[in-house]
Structure 1
Amino acid sequence: MSIGVLAHLFGRLPYRELAAKARLYGFQHVQLALWKAVSDVDFSQKGKLSPGLAMSIAEAFDKEKVHISVLGCYLHFFDRDEAVRRNNVERCKELLRYARLMGAPMVAFETGSLPDRDYTEADWQVMKRVLEELAEEAERWGVFIGLEAANGHLIGTAEQLHAMLEEVPTSQIGVVLDPGNLLHEGNIARQEAVIEEAFRLLGGRIIACHAKDRLLQPDGNVITKPAGLGQMDYNLYMKLLQQYKPEVHIIMEEAAEEQMASCKSFIEQIRNQYSVL
């Protein structure tokens, strides 16, 4: 279970500099979100990728002995504006087409959210159809979709993600598990049950994981922190991860550059307790 990092935690940089920075900080792999992390190519609209550019990005990371474990796709996939939604779907399809040329086995995303969180059955059905379409594209190009549940999103719980996977029964869709995304003010007091349920429902479908932390504040709010600086039960997380998915890639979130070494070490120390069993 090697530890990687979100490439955009280094800021937006030329992709060769991003690769070098990841290597400098001791990471073996990254989650690369092109339009959040790369500054020397404008990926804000679809159509910029080509085999040559994709291979150039892969070569830049290969040179630094860092691979791209996940292509991140931060888009809204059930947007009620059909034109916006179609553009987002096409942008994701472009990533699916070129992922393998960048060495990435998957394209990962959350569903998207609404400010009022007033989700309807129609939203669910739109998301289902989008996933079916993207899964077909993923199968065509031999890559996975990594679907992630996030509190407040249309798919916000392990139970909801499990339900969607049941409704879209394809082996092209796996789970990017992030317990930090599942913990909030209403359930952090019973986090053990929340984490165990996530593994029970989704453990067999996990293809990558995220690592951040959650902290209950004195005022009752739960905030996000870098790994090791909150209250999330990392012993339970790493134990279950080793049990269900040994050697799965873990991608660190949230940490500032000056925190990366200590947060990475924190995860590795706990992980190593279980990986030797």
Structure 2
Amino acid sequence: MQLSVFTVATPDLQPEELAAEAASAGLQGIEWRYARTSDEARRQAPSYWGNNLATIPVGASDEELARYGQAASSAGLRSISVTPYLRCGDLDAAEDVLAAARKLGASMIRLGVHGYDRTRPFGELYEEQRRYLAEAAALCRRYGVKGLVETHHGTIAPSASAAARLLEGLDPDTVGVLLDPGNMVHEGFENYRMGMELLGPYLAHVHMKNAAWTSSEREDGSVKWTSGWTGMRRGVVDWAQVAADLAAVGYAGWVGVEDFSGEHRSPEMLRQFAAYMRELLQEGAAR
């Protein structure tokens, strides 16, 4: 397995700084965040989803894209993904991202997935999602870049089995699943190995972060549970088990850090991630 970083998790580092720190930590790849940054956000302190300094702007020119590609290659890293925030059904936006990914030599993008908030029935969302993914898969094939569905709370793909159902019958060489156990703490938990086995050839990428549940008592005496981000070693996800399960199913792809805990500053977070993953992989090899 190879290690990468999704730049959403390192908002305070410019592309060149990020690449240098990632290489120093022992990572091999970068997943570039692709999003618009408002003028208001640019005036604020760096943040994950606001003023993120290592974000490719939507509609970036070839010259702008070259900066990100050069940042990675100068540090001996690969640009493995361009990761946007697409809406289900927006094929024009998906094609723009695919074009940017191909120019960077990236092999993956993230596709849009419908949210679920009880305002529309699942059946309608599912049918729309299936049509979009079939059309997006054709685009992905044309560009030679794989489109990923991420397991994510608040969407119609919170679990491995739900994501697999969306992709059923599509070519796993063109579309796949980004398995995110941290997201599945909030919603969508399944036995990790069962989910990986169920995904089979659709298991295309993995994100590493962690989350946990905390409780508070309401005035009526009932208990309210709330989920939130934690450090990589401190949450509900048993990453030793996840790593062992990935090895058991023969996964040899990328594991990318997407830590939102704020436990460490970005350079130290990258070092902690690389050290932890090396520890887990060595333990797995010794079993």
Corresponding residue for residue 273 of structure 1: 283
Paired residue for 1:105, among 107, 131, 135? 107
Shift of 1:117: 6.3
Match of 2:98 in 1: 96
Residues 15, 71 of structure 2: 8 Å contact kept? yes
2:245 aligns with 240
Percent identical among aligned pairs is 19
Find the residue that maps to 1:254 and give its secondary structure.
coil
Q: Name 1:59's counterpart in structure 2.
A: 70
State the distance in 1 between where 2:185 and 2:198 align. Answer: 16
- Secondary structure, aligned partner of 1:183: helix
- Deviation larger for 56-65 or 211-220: 211-220
Q: Name the residue aligned to 1:5.
A: 5
Question: Residues of 2 paired with 1:174 and 1:72: CA distance?
Answer: 14
Name the CA distance, whole Å, in 1 between partners of 2:56 and 2:74: 23
Structure 2, unaligned runs of 5 or more: 36-48, 217-224
245-254 or 212-221, which deviates more: 212-221
Higher helix residue share: 1
Q: Match of 1:150, SS? A: coil
CA distance in structure 1 between the aligned counterparts of 2:126 and 2:99, rounded to whole angstroms: 25
In structure 2, distance between residues paired with 1:4 and 1:235: 18
Cα deviation, residue 62, structure 1: 0.3
Find the counterpart in structure 1 of residue 57 from structure 2.
43
1:91-170 alignment, distance < 5 Å? 91-109=93-111, 111-116=113-118, 118-169=120-171
Structure 1 235/58 Cα, relative in aligned 2: closer, same or farther at 3 Å? same
Higher strand fraction (1 or 2):
2
Q: 2: CA distance between counterparts of 1:113 and 1:60? A: 34
Shift of 1:252: 0.7
Q: 1:80 matched to which residue of 2?
A: none
State the one-letter code of the partner of 2:108.
M
Distance 1:143 1:41, change over 3 A: closer
CA contact (8 A) 1:71 1:104 kept: yes
Pick aligned residue for 1:231 from 232, 236, 248? 236
**TM-score (normalised: structure 1):** 0.81
Residue aligning to 2:204: 207
Cα distance in 2 between the residues matched to 1:41 and 1:266:
26
Structure 1, unaligned runs of 5 or more: 78-84
Separation of aligned partners in 1, 2:155 and 2:75 = 36
Amino acid at match of 2:229: T
Q: Deviations over 1:71-124 (max 9, x none)?
A: 2122221xxxxxxx53xx322211212313212111124514144464432211
- Mapped pair 1:76 → 2:90: no
| Higher mean C-alpha deviation, range 167-176 or range 208-217 | 167-176
